[in-house]
Structure formats: C-alpha cells, structure tokens
Structure 1
C-alpha cells in the first residue's frame, strides 16, 4: 500500500499539516496541462463546474488552462472542502481536543514487527521518537508523520491549488463543505484497527524514499481520471472501512449540499481533493445520479 490517496482524499486536513504533493525541485518542461474539469449542465446550460485539486505543487507548476479560467469567471462562488483559510493555531487546538486519549500505548507498540521497524527508520530520519506522540490516537500520529516528512523534503503549503483559487476568484463568496473540526472528527471516529491501517500505510511510505508523488502529479496534470480513480481505490483506501469513512460517505454528504446549491440557483466552481472526483463514487457520478448532466470539458 502507499499513502498517496491520503493526499487526495483528505485535502484540507493535509494542507493544514503541510501534507503536500511533490518535491520542491526543478521540473523538466512538460506538455500543456489538461487538468480534468467537468461541467454540470441542465438543458444544455452550464450550472456549475467540478475540478479535483492537488494541495501543494512544485514551484512554477502550470496547471490552469483556458477552460478552467472560463469556468472560474462564469461561476458565482467557489466551493471547497473548507471555506475559511486554515489557521494552524485553530487546527492545532482542534487536534488537541480530539486526538488525545490518556493511557494509549506508544505508536511503535500498535504496529506489527515490520511496520515497527519501518517506524524506527522514519523516526531516525525525522529526529523524533514515540515521546513526540504521547497519548495521541493513531490517526493523528499518521497525519503528523506525513507532515514532518513533507516538511523535511522542503514542501511549502502556500503553493497549492487552493490558495491560487482563492486569489483567482477573489471577491466571490467561498462555501465550505466541511470545517476543520468536522474533518478531524471523521478521523477520530475511525475504529482502532482502521486507524492502525492508516498509520502503517503512512509509515511505510515515509520509510520508502520513493518519489511516488511525482507520478501522482503527472496523472493530475494529464487529466488522467482513470489513473486517479485507480489511486482512489488503492493504498489504505482499499480498506473498506477507510474508503467509506474518508471518501464515499463524505462524497454522498457533499453531493446533497451541492445538489441543493444548484437547485437554489447557484453557479458554483467546486474544487475538492482529486480522489473525490474520481470513479463511480466520485462527485461527477453522484451528481449524475441526482439527474444532472455531467460533461467532461476538454
């Protein structure tokens, strides 16, 4: 398994913790971007647009294209996972409220032998140990290890798609589908076994020293929704409990919100983590099931 789907399925949370896609090194020249965009239509008229996002990018990454710019201009609001700019202090307070359970065993004692060995390697690379995560639940440990690994690689949270969208659509209302607290609460509600699956997956990727993120970035830039759909069903998201909690259930709830916005006359530009727009239980397909016409915009 690998934890790339974490970056795609938990967009705002991972941006909060600087769980960023892509190493910050020089990128060779690439073809013009074809980031996937869908129009939501009714009787041949566009009512809104959907785009999957990557939450941090290498410097000078070009992802916008004329169809995306046109959709942003035509939209009357921006819809994202979390509406307000994320304040790290607020996020830290929310984490402290939900992540602590007195008497928990240290993270290394929650894993099997192979994952425990990998965790030791990760700890040495990051300069931390079990004491850093005293009494923290496994989901919070997983998020923070990923954040520390990304920071060590030199990633920067202010270079993602979401800050660029806020700037490009300045002056238009921003609607949040969730809050920082509600996103943390989703993780906090995970059964212990599922939390440890998540932690194991994050640890194994952090220990592997692979540049899988570059492959993910390439899929996104090429608009390879089939490839993204495969990723949305791989790694820890292949675990039924995690897939339902972190992806499918949230998509169903978001679909209800978006459907109501559209029926109220809104023309939203919807930008959420790329896993949320991929495959049969992605937002485009769920909105199609609600009766909307969904058209891929090339």
Structure 2
C-alpha cells in the first residue's frame, strides 16, 4: 500500500466506520415474501416517559411503504410500492454479523433498483488525495507530536511509513478503528452490488465520492488532531469499541450503537465539540442531503436501499425522518 490508488480506510467501525465511505406495509404485497414484523420490547409502564419510535426498531432490515401507496384487491400494499432499507456495516462477514443472506437476497429480488451511498467502483484519481493526505511536509507528526505519533506507528505497523506520515487525522482514526480490515470483495457493500447485478437491478447512488470524502474531511486537521491525540492515550478502547459495535449490530440495537458514539468515551471537554461537529457532517448533514432523493425514490417503489446502519437510527436518522413524512416503517427479522 502506498500513496496511490484508493485510500486504505474505506471500512471503519465506531463513528468513522459507521459512515463508510471514507456509511431497510403492515400487509405483504402479492408475490412478496411474508416477512414477520419484528416485535417491540416489553410493554411500557404508564409512569414512564414515552420511548421514541426509533428506539423500538430492533432490526437492520426495514420494509418501507410510501404514504400514497394504493392497496391491491386483497388489501395488501401494491407490488410496486414495496421498498426495503438495509443498514450495512463495513467490517465482518455475514456469518459474524448474524445475517441471513437468503432473506436479504429474497427481499432484494422483489425490488427493481439498488440504491446505495456511492459507487463502490467510483474512480479514484490524484485530485481526491487532498481529502486524506496532509499538504504540510511536517505531516502527522507535526500535528500530534512525536510521542503520539510513535504510539500510532506501534498500533499501525502494516501502514507504510511514508503514507502514515502524510495521513490526515480522520484517516488515521479510521484505520485504528478498522480491526485491520480494508474494503474488499467480501464486504456487504460489494456483495449487495453483485446480487443486484445477478438480478439485473439498476443501481443508483445518493452521493458522489467527492461529497462523501468532503464529509469525512469536514473538520480542519489541526482540530481533528486533538481528537486523535486523546484517543491514542487510551489505545485499548479501539478494540473494545469495535467489539461492542459488532454486538450492537448482531443484536440489531442501532440505538445503543448511536448512544455509544454520542458518549465520546476518552475525549475531554476540548475534543468533544470537535468530534460532535464531525458527527454532524458524517451523519445528520448527509441524511439531510439524501432525504429529498430518498423520498422521491421510495414513492416510486421497488427500491432496495443500502446505507451505513448508523444513518438509520436516532431522531435525525433516515427512518425517523421518513416516518415523519408519512412513510410506514416495519422492522423485519433478519
């Protein structure tokens, strides 16, 4: 790996990994698989505050019905109104993630178009290096200091020194959170694209590669360096948090994953506002940009939408925002 071709940090757990890309009708339509709706948790006590709808959705696959969908003669949703939204994760294989690929393929087979974040084969050229590489010759050691940089070298021994020296702090954080994994042909994103090709589904994207990279690089490097330095003071947290993220996903508890991101463990009062700005760029701002396009596509019907799972949850998550626009959201077991 060197200063060429694609960046090495395309799969990342935690805040940076949750956002790849540098992130799924009460009645079934005729001919559509009859997935059972995921059941909510225990009944809420009357003296408890109301639980947000998005905290009760325990799945990573959701059936989404547009508000204007006309019922068929049997009272089910019209076939063309069926949509699925699937929350991807950019590390681990389907078995480790407890995913039933047969169910996923069956759901996809009843749609017409795969909608994902960005084309996985998007062209990478020299102009895009500015998003991940520092221009200053002092490089990353100049931003975080020799002691923190030595720790970074220890944690990332496989990264060529010439590349590590020039990486922006967000890219170094991404590598630290990646469990040593890089984007490959076995990622969920690649699998979904292959399945779509096999089924002759068209593919559409919610953003360009430049838009995605700009979101990753939205906080100035001098500020992001403070976050990196503080995270390097507790290096054991990287593996611990990656393990917890995996469990959240396996347990279909995206709300708990978002709570973990919001906790910003290991960061002090100076670094938290910086990380919060990065979070808004990576999650909320992109969700807001995607919403009009998603609304249009889902009203057409026949969409299989696959985006980073963390985009789906929370008050500003895609599912809650779609629910507020009148879409029916049904969590499906997977």
Q: TM over 0.5: same fold?
A: yes
Which residue in the other structure is 1:40 paired with? 64
Map of 1:146-157 to 2, 5 A cutoff? Answer: 150-151=180-181, 157=184
Map of 1:110-149 to 2, 5 A cutoff? Answer: 110-111=143-144, 117-127=147-157, 132-133=163-164, 136-143=167-174
Which residue in the other structure is 2:314 paired with? 279
CA distance in 1, matches of 2:211, 2:310: 19
* CA drift at 1:287: 1.0
Map of 1:216-235 to 2, 5 A cutoff? Answer: 216-235=245-264
Provide closer, same or farther for how the CA distance between residues 104 and 260 of structure 1 changes in structure 2, counting only shifts above 3 A: farther
CA distance in 2, matches of 1:119, 1:164: 36
Provide closer, same or farther for how the CA distance between residues 141 and 164 of structure 1 changes in structure 2, counting only shifts above 3 A: same
CA contact (8 A) 2:176 2:238 kept: no
CA contact (8 A) 1:123 1:129 kept: no
Provide closer, same or farther for how the CA distance between residues 231 and 47 of structure 1 changes in structure 2, counting only shifts above 3 A: farther
Which residue in the other structure is 2:141 paired with? 108
What is the count of residue pairs matched by the alignment?
266
Which residue in the other structure is 2:243 paired with? 214
Which residue in the other structure is 1:19 paired with? none
Which residue in the other structure is 2:18 paired with? 8
Which residue in the other structure is 1:93 paired with? 126
SS at match of 2:109: helix
1:165 and 2:192 are equivalent in the alignment: yes
SS at match of 1:12: coil
CA distance in 2, matches of 1:92, 1:198: 28
Note the alpha carbon deviations across 1:25-78, whole angstroms, 9 max, x for none: xxxxxxxxx852222113563531111111121484341266534321221111
Note the alpha carbon deviations across 1:153-212, whole angstroms, 9 max, x for none: xx6632221111112222101111122222112233323454325534664575656343
* TM-score w.r.t. length of structure 2: 0.67
- Out of 242, 249, 263, which is 2:285 matched to? 249
- Out of 82, 85, 96, which is 1:50 matched to? 85
Unpaired runs of 5+ in structure 2?
A: 1-11, 24-57, 70-75
Provide closer, same or farther for how the CA distance between residues 252 and 232 of structure 1 changes in structure 2, counting only shifts above 3 A: farther
- Out of 207, 229, 232, which is 1:178 matched to? 207
CA distance in 2, matches of 1:198, 1:190: 11
* CA drift at 1:8: 0.7
SS at match of 2:206: strand
SS at match of 1:271: strand
- Out of 290, 293, 298, which is 2:328 matched to? 293
Provide closer, same or farther for how the CA distance between residues 125 and 249 of structure 1 changes in structure 2, counting only shifts above 3 A: closer
CA distance in 2, matches of 1:201, 1:175: 39
RMSD (Å) for aligned C-alpha atoms: 3.4
**Which structure is higher in helix share?**
1
